[in-house]
Amino acid sequence: MTKDEFYMGKAIEEAKIAAAVGEIPVGAVVIYQKKAIARAYNLRETLPCATAHAELLAIEKACRVLGRWRLTGCTLYVTVEPCPMCAGAIVNSRLDRVVYGCDDPKGGAVRSLFQIVDNPALNHRVEVTAGVRADECAAIMRDFFRSRRQK
């Protein structure tokens, strides 16, 4: 198992918690110096708050842990390709890298619809690794929505 696959497993754990509480199953983990310093899952329904995406919650926690808004030296692992809002936060927080599981062809802003995080017009670009444990991440989403439609 690669380092990326291992850390994506931590994000998958968070996504499974989200699904268990009725949230869209997206999980995120921020890694700094080989340690998970922040973990989160979607909480939009629970809070309720439109911005309570796993990525934003994990970024906020990582900033508090490090005591700074610049997350240089950090990597964000997230089970699903980030949306435009989250991609903007990824750039603004100066993360070094984002690793995601499955693409989001309807709302992805890293590779699918938009390419925000490495757009040369912006003042910071983030290294991207896509497709890590993609089948497993997609299956979590597919199973969640299948179950929801059956109810």
List the catalytic residue out of 13, 14, 45, 55: 55
Q: Examine the residue annotation and report whether 55 is marked as an active-site residue of this protein.
A: yes
124 marked ligand binding residue: no
For residue 30, give Cα distances in angstroms to 13, 22, 80, 90, 132. Answer: 13, 23, 14, 11, 15
Q: 137 labelled as ligand-binding?
A: no
Query: What is the rounded CA–CA span in Å between residue 20 and residue 24?
Result: 10
**53 among annotated binding-site residues:** yes
Amino acid at 44: R
| Residue 46 and residue 19 in contact, taking contact as beta carbons nearer than 8 Å | no
- H helices of the chain, where? 3-20, 54-66, 84-92, 134-150
Phi-psi category of 64—alpha, beta or left, where left has phi over 0 and alpha has psi -120 to 50? Answer: alpha
Query: CA-to-CA distance for 17 and 19, rounded, in angstroms?
Result: 5
Of 62, 14, 64, 63, the C-alpha closest to 42 is 14
- Binding-site annotation: residue ranges: 53, 83, 86
Q: Where in the sequence numbering do the catalytic residues fall?
A: 55
Bind-site residues for Zn(2+): 53, 83, 86
